[in-house]
Copies of this chain bind each other. A is one copy, B any other.
Amino acid sequence: MDLNKLLKARSLAVVGASEKPGFGGDTCRNILEYRKDLSRVYFVNPGRETVLGRKCYKSLSEIDDEVELVIICTSQATVCGLLREAKTKGCGGAVVFASGYSETGDEKGKAAEEELKSLAKELDIAVLGPNCGGFNNYVDDVISFAFPVEKRDRKGSIGFISQSGQFCINLMDSSEMRFSYAISIGNGKIVTLEDYLDFLVEDEHTKVIAVYMEGVQDAEHFASCLRKAAEKKKPVIIQKGGKSEKGGKIAASHTGALAGSDRAYDAVFDKFGVIRADDMQEMMSTALLLSTLKNLPEKAAFASMNISGGETAICADMGSTFGINYPDFEESTLKKLKSMLPSFCTPGNPLDMTAALCYDSDLYAEGLKVVMDDPNIEMVLIGITIQLVVADPTIYNIYHGVKKVVDQGYKKPIAILPFIEGTRNRDVAEKFREIGVPILPSPKYAFSALSHLSSYIRYDSSKRELSLAVPKKAPAGKRRALSEVKSKQMLMENGISLDLGVIVTSREDALEKAKYLTYPVVMKIESDDILHKSDVGGVILNIKSEDEIGKAFDTILTNVKSRMPEAKINGILMQNMMPQGTELILGVKRDAQFGPMLLAGLGGVFVEVFGDSSLYPIPLNKNEAYEMLKSLKSYKMLTGYRGTPPRDIDAVVEMMVAISEFARKNKDRLCELDINPLFVYGEGAGVGVADALVVLEE
């Protein structure tokens, strides 16, 4: 869908223009207040001659111009008729504020939205909304936002898409946010979140994309937008509502979007290098940091410069909590600092400079340059709280010091780190912003933003498989489990190496086949109906002789027949017993939206008590598989724990990639796969699939 006539419309009409509070009045007031060129702006209201001093048209048809965008402030009943009329004026975009559509949750609302969607398609009009707050395009001065906010210059390079109108208002209320576009998408089922995302990824005026979302409409389209953004190195920051169970329900009832599992979103964001923010403030601060810096640091290597010991300690502590890397300074840097600072200072990183250099901007600039010249440092954090009303001139000395350094061509980025919120003198903040120095928010948010920046710099899209195995059809819900042997056969046919064993159907058969096996041997009941074989006495391990084989055959059959008399039995599976290795669990879970996801974790208490598992979207390559394992807390069990030699991690990685490929090929029918346990042996000795379960769609 072409969004240019919506978001970059060269002419527009407000239908339902008014002077009263409400959609019509607020939109007109916003347009008059913010838009410079009013020559192709038209107000329409059959009941008025003028609105806010401007000519008012009786109808769209009366306007003697092409109307690319129609902003419909009137009620639901009028919308379809207005769109048809607008089409005759060359309209290609519409904003629909009216509610009463799918957000009501009832059949009437849903039908109304379907009707609107069909009509939009028929007329080829890109409809923002319904039930939305409008949008502002600050690049070309196209204003349609319907809510009253303080007058202020908000033009910048952050493209913001929101499934909540209120969040648009909140971000506009911040004195710091600066947008290329701010779009309140409303129900977002006609033009979707993915469409706006696509537009902003392509838009050259948008440096950073920020999104508040509750769900996606089209996972494939979503993934393709994220891939493009990753390849273009355009940061995408997403706050997704519904992390918690309660939050998920609220998000689902709010927009009626299909809420995929929240953990699946985390996994998808990880793959595509999307920055996930916990709340508005975190999203905003991260977007401001990334958009204000003239260039991002090359490595996540920070220097922290402060004027008091207490603040320096906080920077050290918060840095440690948020994983911020403060490299040691070079000896020569320490020496220079020592010569500039009072005798009792012990220079280090983080650095307590005391206030000694703050009384003179030249001195401050010299100190800053010493730190910036250190080859281990790529970005400098200056810890200072900018008061709301500046009573202490220190801040000006620091500002002029920083400006001198920037003017002299020093390129390493700098940010200001205040220690409390609710301060931030606007003029001072603006001066810093103009020289490319962002003012971070209070420490928890500042350090989350720096942590996001660090991850973003470290992310390398070339090492990732940037696609998803989105199923072509929605799951039908009917599931069929395969027996162990059938599960293993299916895996084997897909190139996953394992010991299949043999199925025997009589005592004699068992004794005959045993000749080809090596003791000890394991025997297990083989049946499509029995998922938990041990629970019915269907497994006997460590069988060491012909004699024991015979007994085991009888025992298993007797056990199963008495405990699950109805189960259809294919026979008894017999195979060499695998040596014990480190137990891993590998599995595939199917996410309703994003398709199969690989799950990995160590067996036993690791997953069950500590929830120590890793989930990642399929398909994945070796590098991604390796990173999955490394992200486990129990990873150290694989690298040589308490005298156990290192495990064959390469073999695990190969197995993970093979499973990924199997799941990708079977994305439309694979519901679940469990390899539990996978025994992992020492380096070079590989892995062994001890048990496997495949569950398919019927």
| A interface residues, Cβ below 8 angstroms from B | 103-106, 109, 147-150, 162-167, 169-171, 173-176, 212, 214, 241-247, 249-251, 253-255, 278-282, 284, 307-314, 316-321, 326, 343-344, 346, 348, 350, 352, 385, 387-389, 391-392, 419-424, 441-445, 448, 605-606, 608-610, 612, 633-634, 636-637, 641-642
Contact = CB atoms under 8 A, between A and B. Distances in A.
Given A173-B423, A246-B320, A281-B443, 5 more contacts: A167-B308, A244-B320, A250-B348, A281-B421, A284-B420
Given A420-B173, A420-B284, A633-B610, A254 B309 contact: yes
B279 A419 contact: yes
Contact of A149 (B164, B312, B391): B391
Nearest to A103: B344
Contact of A343 (B104, B278, B636): B104
13 contacts: A162-B310, A164-B310, A173-B387, A174-B422, A175-B422, A175-B423, A212-B310, A243-B321, A246-B320, A250-B312, A278-B444, A284-B420, A422-B441
Contacts of A424: 422
Contact of A326 (B246, B281, B344): B246
Given A279-B444, A319-B244, A421-B442, A309 B253 contact: yes
A478 to B, nearest CB: 30
A352 B170 CA distance: 16
A285 to B, nearest CB: 9
A250 B309 contact: yes
A165 B352 CA distance: 14
How many copies the complex holds: the figure is: 2
Given A281-B420, A444-B281, A385 B173 contact: yes
Contacts of A279: 314, 317-318, 419, 442-444
Q: Which of A166, A214, A308 has the most CB of B within 10 A?
A: A166
A245 B308 contact: no
Nearest to A105: B344
Contacts of A173: 385, 387-388, 391, 420, 423
A104 to B, nearest CB: 4
Contacts of A352: 250, 254
Contacts of A281: 419-421, 442-444
A197 to B, nearest CB: 17
A242 to B, nearest CB: 6
B441 A442 contact: yes
B423 A174 contact: yes
Contacts of A164: 308-311
A314 B174 contact: no
Contacts of A104: 343-344
A246 B343 CA distance: 21
Given A251-B309, A309-B253, A420-B173, A148 B344 contact: no
A357 to B, nearest CB: 15
Contacts of A309: 164, 214, 241, 250-251, 253-255
Contacts of A148: 391-392
Contacts of A326: 246
Nearest to A167: B310
Given A392-B169, A637-B605, A214 B310 contact: yes
Contacts of A344: 103-106, 109
Contact of A609 (B103, B319, B422, B633): B633
Contacts of A149: 387, 391-392
B166 A320 contact: no
B423 A282 contact: no
A595 to B, nearest CB: 25
A207 B282 CA distance: 32
A562 B311 CA distance: 57
A366 B250 CA distance: 23
B316 A250 contact: yes
Contacts of A313: 214, 241-242, 247, 250-251, 254
Contacts of A318: 278-279
Q: Which of A282, A307, A326 has the most CB of B within 10 A?
A: A282
B246 A310 contact: no
A317 B278 contact: yes
Contacts of A247: 313-314, 316-317, 320
A599 to B, nearest CB: 19
A229 B319 CA distance: 32
Given A147-B392, A149-B391, A244-B317, A311 B420 contact: no
Nearest to A255: B309
A585 B254 CA distance: 49
Q: Give 10 nearest A-B pairs by CB, closest first.
A: A164-B310, A254-B309, A244-B320, A241-B313, A166-B308, A247-B316, A421-B421, A247-B317, A246-B316, A243-B317
A191 to B, nearest CB: 19
A245 B320 contact: yes
Contacts of A106: 344
Contacts of A343: 104
A109 B308 CA distance: 19
A344 B104 CA distance: 5
A40 to B, nearest CB: 27
Contacts of A612: 610
Nearest to A246: B316
A633 to B, nearest CB: 6
Contacts of A642: 608
B441 A280 contact: no
Contacts of A609: 633-634, 636-637, 641
A255 to B, nearest CB: 7
Contact of A610 (B169, B284, B610): B610
A282 B249 CA distance: 30
Contacts of A420: 170-171, 173-174, 280-281, 284
Contact of A421 (B167, B244, B389, B422): B422
A596 to B, nearest CB: 26
A253 to B, nearest CB: 5
Nearest to A447: B279
A696 B387 CA distance: 54
A324 to B, nearest CB: 10
A317 to B, nearest CB: 4
A64 to B, nearest CB: 35
A673 B306 CA distance: 42
